Structure 1
Amino acid sequence: MKLIADILMIAGTFSVAVYCIVLAKRLSRFTDLEKGVGGAIAVLSAQVDDMTKMLTKAQKTAAGSAANLENLTSRAEDAAKRLELLMASMHDLPPPPKREAPQAPVASAETNPKSENSSPETLFLSRRSQVEAAE
């Protein structure tokens, strides 16, 4: 009986030794920095550092853009106020005098010898006077 117990004890010890060797190999592959979880953790740690740097840059850029946008918005509001004042002041002006519609010249160059020396107002058929055009 003792012999059978010793044989079973040796077989159990041998199987536990084999199991420990297999676990040790698996654990060494698991913590390997190139292929295992250790490598994955190292890669993720580097990516987290890169993402933190990029997030800091994005926050600085967003803060600068927000300040610029706020400045532009205030300038636009000021311009809108000025335009509103100008539009309000236009209502106070008297209505413009009514003019007759200008007639297009029908005469040709042969019948009108003065056509070469005509004023720019009649040449371009402008509706404004020369003073208004100069302003």
Structure 2
Amino acid sequence: MDLIADILLMAGSFGAAIYCYVLSTRLKKFTTLETGMGGAIAVLSAQVDDMTVALEKARGAANGSAESLEALTARGEAVARKLELLVASLHDLPDPKAPPARPVVEEPTEEERRLRFVRRRAPRDELEAAE
């Protein structure tokens, strides 16, 4: 019985040794930086870094474009206000083809028609001579 137990124990340890060897070779292939999964991970990491830099550049360009667009929009609104004022002032100009309008003369009211008398004082030089 001991002999059978020893044979089974040796077979189990021999199987475990083969299993460990297979795992070791697979792990070495997995972590190899040039050809294995480690290389793919390294390439992906470098691409992520490049994309991060490109994203920061794009974000800076977008912020600059947004600021310039806001400035141009404000400038356009100011010009639009000036144009509206100019167009509104054009409505006040007379039509060049129309005959000139006669000035309207209002008749004076009765109070304005009444005669007014104004008294004037004599200059002081004459008064001094009379004394």
Name the % identity.
63
CA distance in structure 1 between the aligned counterparts of 2:64 and 2:6, rounded to whole angstroms: 80
Normalised by the size of structure 1, how large is the TM-score? 0.67
1:31 aligns with 2:31: yes
Alignment partner, residue 21 of structure 1:
21
The structure with the larger Rg is: 2
Q: Unmatched 5+ residue regions in structure 2? A: 100-131
Q: How many residues align?
A: 99
My pick for the range that moved more, 90-99 or 43-52, is 90-99
Alignment partner, residue 8 of structure 2:
8
Amino acid aligned to 1:96: P
Q: Deviations over 1:90-134 (max 9, x none)?
A: 1111122259xxxxxxxxxxxxxxxxxxxxxxxxxxxxxxxxxxx
Alignment partner, residue 128 of structure 1:
none
Q: Deviations over 1:74-96 (max 9, x none)?
A: 11111111110011001111122
CA distance in structure 2 between the aligned counterparts of 1:97 and 1:2, rounded to whole angstroms: 131
Pairwise CA distance, 1:69: 0.9
Pairwise CA distance, 1:15: 0.9
Q: Secondary structure at the match of 2:59?
A: helix
1:46 aligns with 2:46: yes
Normalised by the size of structure 2, how large is the TM-score? 0.69
Amino acid aligned to 1:77: E
Alignment partner, residue 66 of structure 1:
66
CA distance in structure 1 between the aligned counterparts of 2:9 and 2:71, rounded to whole angstroms: 85
- Written as runs of structure 1 = structure 2, the 5 A alignment for 1:76-95 is 76-95=76-95
Q: 4+ residue stretches of structure 1 with deviation over 6 A?
A: none
Amino acid aligned to 2:69: L
- Structure with bigger RCO (C-alpha 8 Å, 6+ apart): 1
My pick for the range that moved more, 28-37 or 52-61, is 28-37
